[in-house]
Every structure is written in structure tokens, then in C-alpha cells.
């Protein structure tokens, strides 16, 4: 073997020995490492085992505090502010002590307010400071927050602070706050938290500031060229006409804002309701149908408490399909079984939505089941309520200018132009067809259009039949008469309930109650006459005074209120209602005169009751006039009772 081969053999043996040594070393080291780790764990377990539960809790709390300090740069400051806040927010603290605490808190926060305004604790401290601090301290907070107004508007905690700031801001400060939102109104409205800030600014702003906020939602031109496009118009149609904007561009801009708002369900704000009602005036047919489809259901119920929101709801009901109307009505009853009907009926604008349903929806069984039955359970409260009575009056006397304002009547007549175009074009087509093809072709076209445009027309059912089913067949009218009988005196003296009593007593518009409920109406006439037949309060007081004095001393005698002493024939509201009933309802007039006035006319021929007596001589009914003439003509001849020359019957 050569020397070269020997060297190679030795080198390979050396390498093998080195590898084996390294492997043995690693093998020997591994158990040592495991033993060291196990010893360390055993040592810590022994140490923790020596600590009590209280000490372990304290140790865990200290570790948590240390982590929070590392994570939050102003953690120590927030803890100090929380301590001060617990003292300053108490109700039993004096103004001087609270002012000192607020001054100390503001001094600690100075220069760091924007950083801590988004914190859960610090934002509450700042809200209390803004509420109770001096004007100088408020200016300090405002100056630090104003540049960061936009970034804080989307913070879930800072939003409450911003609302508090705007509530106490001057006109210049409020204008500065709203200017901070310029260019970002559309983005904020699409944000769940940011929309709250925009809504609050819209609610507090002047008419000019409201136009500025809405202008950004209508067109980018109004956003970019604010100074050059000044206008006092509020309706988007008028703005387009005055500034000569492109309708298509405005509609695309509004669509890009409306669509995400509806998809996210951010529909609780007044500015959103205004945006939607204006959008529907210029939207094409697919866009308008998109809005109706997305709003149909619980979303719409959240909107009915505002003027524009209720109008949007009425448009959805008017132009929606039968299925969509059914969804809207069913949404008034929650999954838990609770109903929103009573709350909606008592709302100023919500009551008009129910009135619209009563006037349009043909599915009277569904309306009776979900709405009418709920109203029957709270009938007395509705009759006495300023807004609640309008729902009942719409059934008794539809679209009456006596009970509904011009604005309410205009709301019921609103339509979506793009959804009305079809009916207009079809009517023009019918006119041309009638000239060419005669009456037969015209009748066929009318039948087709009636089926296609049921939503536009409001329903196929006859309005009188719909009222009959909702009012009489449902049992609502019978229950309403019973409630009026039970509370006749209270209702007649009420400024609001008296109108319902009058409409019920005359049988409703077109006498809808008379054929089937004439006996019940007679009970109501008797109840009112019985109340009117009661003695005057002065006579009642004289008869009961000796007994009252014998029962208890004069010092303990409770004095009734002046309004409670008024007789139903002398009360301002009840006397006018009874006078109207005498003129318009002969059956009631004869019962009242026979039961309450006959033989006592001279004692009642003064004050408000004199107008009731004169109504017996002014009525157009000959039998009633002849019945009362014998006794009343004597008073007229003596000059005790006066009758206007213009009101004398022919």
C-alpha cells in the first residue's frame, strides 16, 4: 500500500471519530437541558405555591397594569382623570369644588386632548368638563379638538364628546365644526358612527348650513364650487333647474351615496330621510324600485318618526307591490310578539303612515289582524291623544281638511314621478286608441293598465268597501261607540276627543255606521243626554254643602278644580260639539231636548249653552225645530235668546 493511500485512510478514520464524538456530546447534553428546565419549573411552582390567593391576584394585577402602561402611552394620565371624574360627576358636589376639579383635569389634559379623546374613560371625562367648565376652559378644549374633528368623528367614544361640543358651541364654532366635515359628508353618512355626527350637525345647523350639507350629497359641483353656486332652493329639482346641472350626473352621485346607506341599514337620521325623499323625485324606475325593495320591512318602521321619513314610508306603501305592503305591515309586529302599532299611532308623523295604509292597502284581513286589533286595545288613549285620534278620524271621515293640515293632505297625495310615467303614457295611448279603434279597444287597454298599475292607483278595492271592512266588520266601530258611551263627559270636554265623539255620533262620513250600528248610536245619544241632564254645579254644591261640612272640617275640605265644575253644556269644548250635533244629527237633537232641556231652557239661556239652544231654531230639520220652537220662541221674543239673521233656516 502506498503512502498516499495510508494518509487517506487515516483522514477518514479521524473524521468518523470526530462525528461520533459530536453525536455523543449532543446526546449527553440533551438530558442535561431537560433536567435544567424541569428544575426551573419546579422552582417557580414551589415559589407560586408559597404565595396565597390574594398575593397571586395582586401579582396578576401588577402584570396587567404593566402591560397596559406599555400598550397605552397615556395610561397613568387616564387613571388620574378617572379618579377626578368620580368626584366631579357627583350630584351632591358644590359648584366651587366641581370647578376646581375640572380646572385640575383640564390642566392635566392640556396638549394631549386629541390623543386621549378617543379613549373610553377620557372621552367621558372630557364630556363632563365641557358640560360644566367655564368659557375659557371650553375654548381650550375646542381649539385642541377642532383640527382633529374629522378623524374623531368616526370614533365610537369620541362621537359623544363631539356632540356635546356642538351642543354648547357658538354660531362661529358650530360653523367651524361643520366646515371641518366639508367634502366628507357622503363618506361619513355611509359610516355607522360618522353618520351620527353629521345628523347632529344637521339638526343644530341653520337653514344655510343644512343646504350646505345636503348640497354635497346632490352634486360634486355644489361641493367644489361652494361660493359660486349659492342658492336658497331646498328641493333638488329646483336646484337642478336653477343652476342648470345635469340631471343624470346628480342622479348618479345620489345613487352612489344612497345604495351603500340602504345596504348597511343606516336609515335612522333625518338627513338620510331628506336625501331619500329628494332622490325619489329624480330617480328612474329601476332606482326607485331598488329603494322600495330595500326599505320594505323593519328598516321602514325606523323611519316613520320624521316628516320626510313618513313620506318615504307612504311612497313605499303607495307604489309597493302587494307582497311589499304585506312585509311593511308585518314589520310593525316584532318576532318577540311586541307591537309598534301603538307607538306609531301616537306619533305625529307615524299616524299619517297608518292613515295611508287604511286608505290604500286592499288586504283588510291582514290590516285588521296586525293594526286594528292593536288599536282596539288602546282605544281610549288614542281618542284622547292629539296624534292618535287622526288614525281613527281617517276611517270615520277620510282626508278631511278639518282634521288634517294641508301638509298632511299633501303627504297623502305624493307620488314617485318615474313610477307614474307608465300610467301617464298608457292613458295617452288609450286616448289615441279610442279615436282609432273605438270604445272596445279602450276598455281592453284600461283592464290591462289596471292590472299593471295597481300600485300606482293605490288598490283595486272600492274605498267605501275598504272602510266598511276596517271600521265596521272588524268590530272597531262597535268598540269605539262603547268607549265613547263609557267616557262621554270626559271626551266631550277634551279638545281632541270631542272630534271623534262628533264623527261617531253622526255615523261617520256617508253614514257608514248608521245601517248596522243604529242601536249602538242611540245608546251614545242617551249617554250624552244623561250627562247634559245633570244639575248645574252651583245647585249640586248647595245641596251637598251641609253634608260635606258635617262630614269634615272646612280646613280639610278639598276644593275641586274650576274645569271640573264646568257643566257639559257650559264647557267651551263640549258646548260647541253638542251644538254641531244638534245641527247635523236630528235623532240626537230630539233626545237631548226631551231629556235635558225641555222645561229648563230659561235657566240655560246664557253663556255657551245659549248657542246650543239657538241651534235648535237654526237646524234644517223641521221636526226638531217645531219641537223646540214653542219654548224657545218666548225667550227670543223677550230678548233673552238671540239668533243670528244669517243662520236662520230658510
Identify whether the C-beta of residue 84 lies closer than 8 Å to the C-beta of residue 104: yes
Q: What is the pLDDT of residues 497-552, one digit of tens each?
A: 999 999 999 999 999 998 899 999 999 999 999 999 998 776 555 555 555 455 55
Identify whether the C-beta of residue 301 lies closer than 8 Å to the C-beta of residue 344: yes
pLDDT score at 555: 45
What does the alpha-carbon distance between residue 222 and residue 470 come to, in Å, rounded to a whole number? Answer: 48
pLDDT score at 41: 45
What CA dihedral angle connects 231, 233, 237 and 241, to 10 degrees? -40
pLDDT score at 452: 37
Q: What is the pLDDT of residues 238-251, one digit of tens each?
A: 888 888 888 888 99
Please give the full DSSP string across 224-287, using - where no structure is assigned.
Answer: H-TTTS-----SHHHHHHHHT--HHHHHHHHHHHHHHHHHHT---SHHHHHHHHHHHHH--HHH
Classify each residue of 212-239 as buried b or exposed e, where b means 16 or more C-beta atoms within 10 Å of its C-beta. bbbbbbbbebbbeeeeebeeeeeebeeb
Cell numbers describing residue 124: 367621558
pLDDT score at 47: 52
What does the alpha-carbon distance between residue 83 and residue 453 come to, in Å, rounded to a whole number? Answer: 67
Which residues of the chain are under the pLDDT cut of 50?
A: 1-4, 6-8, 10, 15, 19, 23, 25-37, 40-45, 228, 423-457, 548, 554-557
What does the alpha-carbon distance between residue 571 and residue 566 come to, in Å, rounded to a whole number? Answer: 5
Identify whether the C-beta of residue 531 lies closer than 8 Å to the C-beta of residue 578: no
For the chain, list the domains and their CATH numbers: 292-423+454-474 (1.25.10.10), 499-541+562-647 (no CATH)
Taking phi first (over 0 means left), then psi (-120 to 50 degrees means alpha), and beta for anything else, what does residue 82 get? alpha
Q: Quick one: DSSP state of residue 90?
A: -
Helix (H) or strand (E) holding 156: none
Q: Quick one: DSSP state of residue 554?
A: G
Residue 201's Cβ-side half-sphere holds a number of Cα atoms within 13 Å equal to 30
What does the alpha-carbon distance between residue 141 and residue 130 come to, in Å, rounded to a whole number? Answer: 8
Task: Please count the other Cβ atoms lying within 10 Å of the Cβ belonging to residue 461.
Answer: 15
What does the alpha-carbon distance between residue 396 and residue 535 come to, in Å, rounded to a whole number? Answer: 33
Residues linked to residue 339 through DSSP beta bridges, in sequence order: 333
Residues linked to residue 577 through DSSP beta bridges, in sequence order: none
pLDDT score at 79: 85
Task: Please count the other Cβ atoms lying within 10 Å of the Cβ belonging to residue 544.
Answer: 11
In this prediction the pTM is 0.80
What does the alpha-carbon distance between residue 643 and residue 650 come to, in Å, rounded to a whole number? Answer: 14
What does the alpha-carbon distance between residue 416 and residue 455 come to, in Å, rounded to a whole number? Answer: 11
pLDDT score at 439: 44
Amino acid at each position: 500500500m502506498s503512502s498516499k493511500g495510508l494518509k487517506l485512510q487515516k483522514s477518514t478514520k479521524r473524521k468518523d471519530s470526530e462525528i461520533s464524538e459530536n453525536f455523543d456530546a449532543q446526546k449527553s447534553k440533551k438530558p442535561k437541558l431537560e433536567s435544567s428546565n424541569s428544575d426551573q419549573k419546579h422552582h417557580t411552582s414551589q415559589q407560586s405555591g408559597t404565595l396565597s390567593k390574594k398575593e397571586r391576584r395582586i401579582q396578576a394585577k401588577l402584570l396587567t397594569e404593566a402591560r397596559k402602561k406599555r400598550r397605552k402611552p397615556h395610561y397613568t394620565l387616564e387613571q388620574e382623570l378617572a379618579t377626578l371624574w368620580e368626584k366631579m360627576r357627583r350630584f351632591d358636589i358644590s359648584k366651587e369644588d366641581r370647578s376646581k376639579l375640572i380646572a385640575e383635569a383640564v390642566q392635566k389634559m392640556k396638549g394631549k386632548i386629541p390623543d386621549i379623546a378617543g379613549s373610553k374613560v377620557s372621552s367621558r371625562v372630557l364630556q363632563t368638563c365641557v358640560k360644566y367648565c367655564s368659557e375659557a376652559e371650553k375654548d381650550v378644549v375646542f381649539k385642541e379638538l377642532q383640527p382633529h374633528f374629522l378623524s374623531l368623528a368616526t370614533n365610537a367614544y369620541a362621537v359623544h364628546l363631539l356632540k356635546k361640543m356642538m351642543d354648547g358651541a357658538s354660531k362661529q364654532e358650530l360653523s367651524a365644526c361643520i366646515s371641518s366635515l366639508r367634502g366628507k359628508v357622503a363618506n361619513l353618512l355611509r359610516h355607522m358612527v360618522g353618520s351620527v355626527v353629521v345628523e347632529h350637525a344637521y339638526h343644530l345647523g341653520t337653514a344655510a348650513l343644512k343646504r350646505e350639507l345636503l348640497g354635497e350629497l346632490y352634486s360634486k359641483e355644489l361641493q367644489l364650487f361652494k361660493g359660486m353656486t349659492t342658492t336658497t332652493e331646498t328641493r333638488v329639482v329646483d336646484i337642478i333647474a336653477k343652476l342648470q346641472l345635469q340631471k343624470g350626473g346628480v342622479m348618479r352621485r345620489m345613487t352612489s351615496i344612497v345604495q351603500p346607506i340602504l345596504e348597511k341599514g343606516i336609515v335612522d337620521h333625518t338627513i338620510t330621510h331628506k336625501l331619500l325623499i329628494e332622490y325619489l323625485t329624480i330617480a328612474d324606475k329601476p332606482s326607485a324600485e331598488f329603494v322600495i325593495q330595500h326599505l320594505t320591512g323593519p328598516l321602514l318602521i325606523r323611519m316613520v318618526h320624521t316628516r320626510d321619513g313618513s313620506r318615504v314610508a307612504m311612497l313605499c306603501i303607495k307604489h309597493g307591490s302587494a307582497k311589499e305592503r304585506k312585509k311593511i305591515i308585518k314589520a310593525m309586529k316584532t318576532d318577540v310578539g311586541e307591537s309598534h302599532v301603538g307607538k306609531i299611532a301616537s306619533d305625529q308623523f307615524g299616524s299619517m303612515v297608518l292613515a295611508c295604509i287604511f286608505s290604500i292597502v286592499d288586504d283588510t284581513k291582514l290590516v285588521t289582524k296586525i293594526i286594528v286589533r292593536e288599536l282596539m286595545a288602546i282605544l281610549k288613549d288614542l281618542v284622547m291623544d292629539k296624534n292618535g285620534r287622526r288614525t281613527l278620524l281617517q276611517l270615520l271621515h277620510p282626508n278631511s281638511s278639518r282634521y288634517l293640515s294641508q301638509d298632511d293632505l299633501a303627504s297623502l297625495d305624493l307620488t314617485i314621478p318615474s313610477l307614474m310615467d307608465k300610467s301617464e303614457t298608457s292613458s295617452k295611448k288609450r286616448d289615441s286608441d279610442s279615436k282609432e279603434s273605438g270604445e272596445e279597444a279602450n276598455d281592453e287597454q284600461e283592464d290591462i293598465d289596471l292590472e299593471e298599475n295597481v300600485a300606482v292607483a293605490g288598490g283595486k278595492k272600492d274605498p267605501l268597501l275598504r272602510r266598511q271592512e276596517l271600521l265596521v266588520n272588524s268590530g272597531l266601530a262597535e268598540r269605539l261607540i262603547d268607549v265613547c258611551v263609557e267616557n262621554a263627559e270626559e271626551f266631550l270636554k277634551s279638545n281632541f276627543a270631542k272630534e271623534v265623539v262628533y264623527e261617531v255620533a253622526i255615523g261617520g262620513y256617508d253614514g257608514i255606521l248608521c245601517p248596522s250600528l243604529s242601536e249602538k248610536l242611540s245608546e251614545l245619544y242617551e249617554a250624552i243626554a244623561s250627562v247634559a241632564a245633570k244639575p248645574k254645579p252651583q245647585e249640586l254644591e248647595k245641596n251637598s254643602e251641609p253634608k260635606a261640612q258635617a262630614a269634615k272640617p272646612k280646613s280639610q275640605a278639598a276644593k275641586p278644580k274650576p274645569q271640573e265644575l264646568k257643566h257639559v253644556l257650559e264647557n267651551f269644548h263640549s258646548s260647541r260639539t253638542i251644538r254641531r250635533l244638534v245641527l247635523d244629527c236630528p235623532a240626537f237633537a230630539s233626545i237631548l231636548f226631551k231629556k235635558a232641556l225641555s222645561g229648563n231652557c230659561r235657566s240655560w239661556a246664557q253663556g255657551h249653552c245659549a248657542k246650543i239652544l239657538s241651534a235648535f231654531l237654526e237646524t234644517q230639520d223641521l221636526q226638531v225645530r217645531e219641537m223646540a220652537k214653542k219654548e224657545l220662541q218666548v225667550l227670543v221674543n223677550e230678548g233673552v235668546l238671540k239668533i243670528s239673521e244669517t243662520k236662520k233656516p230658510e
